[in-house]
Amino acid sequence: MSSHREAPEIAKDPVADSTDLYAFVSPDAPDTVTLIANYVPLEGPDGGPNFYEFGDEVLYTINVDNDGDGDADVVFEFSFHTEVTDPGTFLYNTGPITSLGASTWNRRQSYSVTRVDTERGRRTVLGQGLACPPCNIGPLSTPDYTALAQAAVHQLPGRVQVFAGQRAEGFYVDLGSIFDLGVLRPFEQDHTTFGLSGTGLGAMAAGVNATKGLNVHSIAIQVPVTELTAGRATGRTAGSPSSVIGVWTAAYRQKVRMWDGDGHVWAGPYVQVSRLGNPLVNEVVIPMGKKDYWNAQPPGADRQFASSFSDPELAQLLPVLYPGVFPNLAAYNAGAPDRADVVAILLTGIPAGIVPGFQNFTGTTQADMLRLNVALPPASAPANTGLLGGDVAGFPNGRRVFDDVVTIELRALAGATLGLVDPSFTPDAAAGAVSQGLTSSPGDLGAMGTEHYLSSFPYLGVPSSGFAVPAA
Amino acid sequence: MGVSRRTFLGRGTLAVAAAGVLSSVPGLSGLLTSAEADGPAVDAGAGDAGAAAGGDLAEPLVAHVRDVTTGEISVFNGTREVVVRDPQLAGRLVRAVR
């Protein structure tokens, strides 16, 4: 998955487990940037009576680096508080929840948002006591969920708007196939299958969106561009370093946790337990033995993981799993791989001169951050393949909710981008065609009808209702 | 680097919470105040952002004996961690749980 359950320790701590991060110039307000950090992976919409929520003891942050050193210059901190109106009932709600103030809603969360300007050491509370919406339970409990959730979009001073609560999972991926030894259903006839027979594999098949119908908890904030850039740059010059920001999310817990009868006791400083910049990095680039450690490290220290990017394991595996499909990549891998393309995409940004009219380079500091050139306007005809599809407003220039990041990264790792930095390399034909088979075309922005994004903030779709969960 | 959860639970270390052990171990109650003079917490970072002011014992105080031999003890209270080296205190804590 993008970063769902991607490391052994954080997989056991869902409320602190960052799953996806998005950063894009807002299509309906292009002088603003929208940042969305998702947590709590793979929520079954019917997971009551204790429906999903944020962790009160978790400090959530969305971090922005605007000078390329891998350290945060602007931090948005989100802290949550849960209130139980009536501890005498087991019910999440005792009747229909028709407003965020409904007395029938027994267990509710609110939160505060604080902006930290690290250079000046200034902390500014942007909002507090902000209501989260309830989870989408069903037609009796949450009868007009769309309106209920929309009421939880809060307008804050300075043209800032925020939302924190349940959303439909926007990351589409064929989990069941990709984690079965790298099967891609559209290409399963080419898979080695390890000599097994009777597997049922062998014919080209459509992909399956494994996250269809699942939910997630999103923290979304939309702010003017000038609130994020160095020197409050307006981001009007795409070639300017000041037009590029690096973004990541991180979650923190206090160091000490102790079970004390009917609850946990926490003590000590906050330490980082989860982070996420580019999708799939800790998932498929960082090896098992370093995943928990990686989650505790700041992006600015990512140089220590550089070898996992310059010779990525998945790029080595593709020619092995699909014999004869990637002969040029296989030959390249047999030499001394130095995937400067992967390093640029994920660790430094792409310098000017590689892709005409585009750069999101932040300097030589290697740091896993989602890099967004805020000077590039939203595309009038977006492609879910982003930059690989000629759409410079898409991943890896930031990330929009509909970007097919799995396909983009698969193609890059398969060698589609290697020729950009190594003219002696000719990408295999398959590198530009490999896909998880979840979109019908680059212009398909809804994963063949399995995703229903919104055209305005918070952009991720209305969460699936528990009542609507189909029988297995 | 601070202590990972794994090392926290590792062999050769001992963690105690003030509520249960404080009264039986002379010296622990004054530890936080004395440790503050020794220097800042070992782990800066996010904790700084939310650091509480002062040692408020209305919140739990947890001591983690990181190394009995050297007497290195991490003491946690609120959002702070201070490290002290007191072999005698470490020894008393060990005896308290034997």
Mind listing the pLDDT tens digit for each residue in A84-118? 999 999 999 999 999 999 999 999 999 999 999 99
CA neighbor of A274 nearest in space, from A22, A61, A44: A61
d(C-alpha A142, C-alpha A466), whole Å: 10
> Is residue A252 within 8 angstroms of chain B, CB to CB?
yes
Point out the residue among A123, A252, A292 whose CB comes nearest to the CB of B46. A252
Q: Is the pLDDT of residue B81 over 80?
A: yes
> Is residue A255 within 8 angstroms of chain B, CB to CB?
yes
Task: Inspect the interface and report whether the beta carbons of A271 and B43 lie closer than 8 Å.
Answer: yes
pLDDT above 70 as % of chain A = 99
Q: Which of B76, B82, B83 to mutate to test the interface with A (most CBs of A within 10 A)?
A: B76
Give DSSP secondary structure letters for A262-274.
SSEEEEEEEEEEE
ipTM of the complex: 0.76
Report which DSSP code applies to A127.
E
d(C-alpha A42, C-alpha A46), whole Å: 12
Nearest residue on chain A to B61, alpha-carbon basis: A267
Lowest mean pLDDT among A38-42, A419-423, A455-459, B35-39: B35-39
Model confidence at B14, pLDDT cuts 50, 70, 90, reads low
> Is residue B61 within 8 angstroms of chain A, CB to CB?
yes
Instruction: Collect all residues of chain B within an 8 Å Cβ-Cβ radius of residue A265.
Output: 17, 60, 62
Nearest residue on chain A to B43, alpha-carbon basis: A269
> Is residue A268 within 8 angstroms of chain B, CB to CB?
yes
Q: How many residue contacts between A and B have a Cβ separation below 8 Å?
A: 80
CA neighbor of A467 nearest in space, from A111, A69, A51: A51
Q: Is the pLDDT of residue B19 over 70?
A: no
Task: Inspect the interface and report whether the beta carbons of A258 and B80 lie closer than 8 Å.
Answer: no
Q: Could you give phi then psi for residue A77, rounded to 5 degrees?
A: -100, 140
Q: Could you give phi then psi for residue A270, rounded to 5 degrees?
A: -75, 135
Give DSSP secondary structure letters for A159-183.
TEEEEEEEEE------HHHHTTTT-
- Residue range A267-315, pLDDT digits in tens: 999 999 999 999 999 999 999 999 999 999 999 999 999 999 999 999 9
- Residue range A159-191, pLDDT digits in tens: 999 999 999 999 999 999 999 999 999 999 999
Instruction: Collect all residues of chain A within an 8 Å Cβ-Cβ radius of residue B17.
Output: 258, 260, 265
Nearest residue on chain A to B74, alpha-carbon basis: A268
Q: Is A178 left (phi over 0), alpha (psi -120 to 50) or beta?
A: alpha
Tokens of B71: 């007497």
Q: Is B22 exposed, middle or buried (0-12, 13-18, 19+ CB in 10 A)?
A: middle
Tokens 């977006």 belong to residue: A382
- Residue range A46-67, pLDDT digits in tens: 999 999 999 999 999 999 999 9
The minimum CA-CA distance between A153 and chain B, rounded to whole Å, is 26
Point out the residue among B44, B51, B76 whose CB comes nearest to the CB of A256. B76
Domain count, chain B: 1
The minimum CA-CA distance between A4 and chain B, rounded to whole Å, is 21
Q: How much is the mean pLDDT over chain A? A: 96
Model confidence at B47, pLDDT cuts 50, 70, 90, reads very low
Tokens of A256: 């000490």
Instruction: Give the pLDDT confidence score for residue A231 in this predicted structure.
Output: 87
Tokens of A11: 């997989």
CA distances from A181 to A191, A317, A414, B13 (A): 9, 10, 16, 40
What is the domain range of residue B41?
5-96
Task: Inspect the interface and report whether the beta carbons of B46 and A59 lie closer than 8 Å.
Answer: yes
Point out the residue among A9, A123, A267 whose CB comes nearest to the CB of B62. A267
Instruction: Give the pLDDT confidence score for residue A35 in this predicted structure.
Output: 98
Report which DSSP code applies to A75.
E
List the domain boundaries for chain A: 10-173+209-432
Instruction: Collect all residues of chain B within an 8 Å Cβ-Cβ radius of residue A59.
Output: 46, 49-50
The minimum CA-CA distance between A9 and chain B, rounded to whole Å, is 10
Tokens of A152: 């939880």
> Is residue B56 within 8 angstroms of chain A, CB to CB?
no
Q: What is the mean pLDDT of residues B32-44?
A: 38
